[in-house]
């Protein structure tokens, strides 16, 4: 299955991109790096610049329908940039409209909030997003991983890099094999 990994051109937390990417690849999926512009994305280790990764597809030139699932890595700057890009927000919303599963870690739920897909859902995130999730109509929980079945699709969320193993295990259980 093709899995979109949506990141901004700069600011994605590297380990929150690379660990889920490798887990998806090891499980036989095809991870695809999608960004708001072509070229490369710059990852970070917290606030320090890290590696760059080539963009495979650009938001606005691809669609949710060409993927079976979506992964939203965190980092503080990454989702903050994405939530200000209308095409990125629409891309995320389309996964929910089409009933496709989504996984988001750390600060990534900011993009979900902007896409207005949190209402009525239970999710976790980096603790500083707790009020934002609640104000958007969601229920925030302090759990290593949360799988929410509200609506036609499943949403997998985790709090932080320390939760990556549980996050990867959960989204691999939830993402359908061979779909998309």
102-158 pLDDT, tens per residue?
999 999 999 999 999 999 999 999 999 999 999 999 999 999 999 999 878 899 999
Catalytic residue among 45, 46, 107, 150: 107
- When divided into structural domains, the chain yields a total of 1
The answer as to whether 115 is a domain residue is: yes
CATH classification of the domain holding 11: 3.40.50.880
Token pair in block for residue 158:
């985790």
Q: What angle do CA 141, 143, 147 make, to 5 degrees?
A: 85
Token pair in block for residue 140:
């925030």
Judge whether residue 177 has pLDDT over 80: no
pLDDT reported for residue 86: 98
> For residue 31, how many C-alpha atoms fall within 13 Å in the half-sphere facing its CB?
23
Residue 107 annotated as catalytic: yes
CA distances from 1 to 18, 49, 122, 177 (A): 18, 31, 26, 6
The answer as to whether 179 is a domain residue is: no
The answer as to whether 180 is a domain residue is: no
Domain of residue 132, residue span: 2-174
Contact indicator for 21, 50 with CB cutoff of 8 Å: no
The answer as to whether 17 is a domain residue is: yes
Residues found in the chain? 180
Q: What is the pTM of this model?
A: 0.97
């Amino acid at each position: 299955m093709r899995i979109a990994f949506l990141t901004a051109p700069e600011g994605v937390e590297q380990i929150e991109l690379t660990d889920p990417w490798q887990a998806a690849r090891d499980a036989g999926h095809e991870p695809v790096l999608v960004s708001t512009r072509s070229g490369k994305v710059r990852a970070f280790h917290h606030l320090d610049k890290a590696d760059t990764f080539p963009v495979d597809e650009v938001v606005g030139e691809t669609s949710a329908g060409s993927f079976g699932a979506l992964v939203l890595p965190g980092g503080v700057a990454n989702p903050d940039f994405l939530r200000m890009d209308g095409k990125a927000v629409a891309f995320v919303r389309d996964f929910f409209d089409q009933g496709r599963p989504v996984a988001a870690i750390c600060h990534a739920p900011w993009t979900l909030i902007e896409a207005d897909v949190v209402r009525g859902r239970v999710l976790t995130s980096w603790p500083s997003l707790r009020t934002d999730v609640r104000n958007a109509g969601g229920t925030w929980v302090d759990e290593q991983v949360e799988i929410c079945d509200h609506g036609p699709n499943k949403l997998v969320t985790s709090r932080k890099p320390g939760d990556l193993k549980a996050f990867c295990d959960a989204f691999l259980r939830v993402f359908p094999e061979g779909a998309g």
